[in-house]
Structure 1
């Protein structure tokens, strides 16, 4: 090549007009990492592992669960947001990490809109439970105990600023009980200390064996946090059936998230395959056996609408309670 031709080619490159780069391979071309922001064995971990094998089969690549616990799930969330927006790292998220952690902890710099929900995976009711030796068997007896005791009733949560923390603070504010928040790093250590009698109360999901522990008498149910009894546990009264508390409603959800800047075709592929996984009878049966339900098919647009609605709802609730202690 003579010098004139070489200089012409270099000029084209400088203007961004060089020959096109080799096209990237079809998504996914490598294994996918699924970040779970809590320790192994908790409800989030169970939900993620329920999906991982079937999702890997649909995508044609292994989906490897990576448990990254701490700081109300925000450490795992930050690991997702530091990853490349290519769909090869995804996140099993809930309101705790995506919505509430940034509201409760000023040190957390990320925003809820930095995540995008690829698909909603589970919806799980909450129940207020007490240690077996707690001298209260109904929500009204608990309120009377909490109002009269000089020593505060301790309530555990999966972390500072978590949805369980928010629910506990809301119950405290509405009932006038003397309560003290005890944050943990995930559901498993909360359950261990509750069973051991180190704490008095906790807001727990139906999953993780909670219902079986209630049935066996190892935990006390003080009320499901919903407006009506749940079909998964129709014999358990709601917290609203007592005299002192009304209009208390909290539920958990879990979904697969990606970095918001991930290309739309990749998120659409994830949405399609995750909906297919959600429709599998064995996945639905496994979720119900664990105390959750799988939602009906949701398009990516419907997932966006749901997530934006949750952002607005929790930002409003968080203004009414203390999420910093």
Structure 2
């Protein structure tokens, strides 16, 4: 029995429509504007990198890529909205380390970051740096640990808020070193940094982007980089591994997430587009100027990072009984 090409094509399309499978082809995508949801206010590092990449995506994809800021609950409001969006590649989320933290931190969460999203491609990462106030007679991790053990509970560490990555980094430090220090949460990086500089709080983990100028001018003293390798901007500062604490990594990272079920062709097109953008010398220079490292790579590599971060911070949150509404 012969079946015409026309009838066969119509049958395939009919099956796709009946099954609910989106008939999307890489050549057809995108055919309309893309909305890029950022769960943080304008002007911050997450917003800056999103707009930088979105502008180049718009040129490459020949469609508007509109950045929409939707802050609240450590990025969770935006995440919940994108989780419910159509899985067609026209609604993107800026995924960050907060998504991995929120998975165990928040009680009323209605999505699973490792099941309800596809991590498409990483934009950048930036290591945290363990710093102390210059008023503290400490120049190494060993000296800080010795002082903290000599005076349990007397030292304090600053964070950008309960449940933030600097908070969890401090708790991870306490677990790994067997020390007891007081957590002092602040509403943002600026006031936390100000009080460490002033000596009101003795230590804390700071993102390289926010604190690098203060490290370089001596206002605060960096004692270790929480990454596998030293920072070019701080060549004389050892890593936590070099200080005796292997596998101690605290990286701020971000990249594109899309809802689970987004067609593979669309995921591949977004991934290849951003990988090309991240090879642009101008973009590389801008990211390095933010004390960051360019990302890139495959969706599988990004997924592995997200899953490992979710497991790591979940363990820290459970061991320290940290909860947040």
- The alignment's TM-score, normalised by the length of structure 2, stands at 0.78
* Alpha-carbon distance in 1 for matches of 2:87, 2:194: 37
Secondary structure of 1:282's aligned partner:
helix
Q: Is the 8 A contact 2:128 2:225 kept in 1?
A: yes
* Alpha-carbon distance in 2 for matches of 1:30, 1:259: 18
Q: Is 1:146 the equivalent of 2:145?
A: no
Secondary structure of 1:235's aligned partner:
coil
Q: Is the 8 A contact 1:131 1:197 kept in 2?
A: yes
* Alpha-carbon distance in 2 for matches of 1:39, 1:189: 17
Q: Is 1:267 the equivalent of 2:270?
A: no
* Alpha-carbon distance in 2 for matches of 1:62, 1:193: 42
Q: Is 1:214 the equivalent of 2:215?
A: yes
* Alpha-carbon distance in 2 for matches of 1:68, 1:199: 32
* Alpha-carbon distance in 1 for matches of 2:261, 2:191: 35
Q: Is the 8 A contact 1:58 1:273 kept in 2?
A: yes
Q: Is the 8 A contact 1:71 1:160 kept in 2?
A: no
Map 1:1-325 to 2 at 5 A.
26-97=28-99, 99-113=100-114, 114-134=116-136, 136-147=138-149, 148=151, 150-157=153-160, 159-183=161-185, 187=189, 190-191=192-193, 194=196, 199-208=201-210, 210-242=211-243, 246-247=245-246, 248-295=248-295, 297-315=296-314, 318-324=317-323
Relative to structure 1, is the Cα distance of residues 156 and 78 closer, same or farther in structure 2, using a 3 angstrom cutoff? same
**Number of matched residues?**
301
Runs of at least 5 residues in structure 2 that lack an aligned partner in the other structure: 1-13
* Alpha-carbon distance in 2 for matches of 1:187, 1:125: 15
Secondary structure of 2:293's aligned partner:
coil
Q: Is the 8 A contact 1:38 1:185 kept in 2?
A: no
* Alpha-carbon distance in 2 for matches of 1:290, 1:141: 30
* Alpha-carbon distance in 1 for matches of 2:205, 2:81: 27
For residues 23-62 of structure 1, give each alpha carbon's deviation from its aligned partner in whole angstroms, at most 9, with x where no partner exists: 8894333332222222333332232222121111112223
Q: Is the 8 A contact 1:101 1:162 kept in 2?
A: no
Q: Is the 8 A contact 1:229 1:236 kept in 2?
A: yes
What residue in structure 2 maps to residue 13 of structure 1? Answer: none
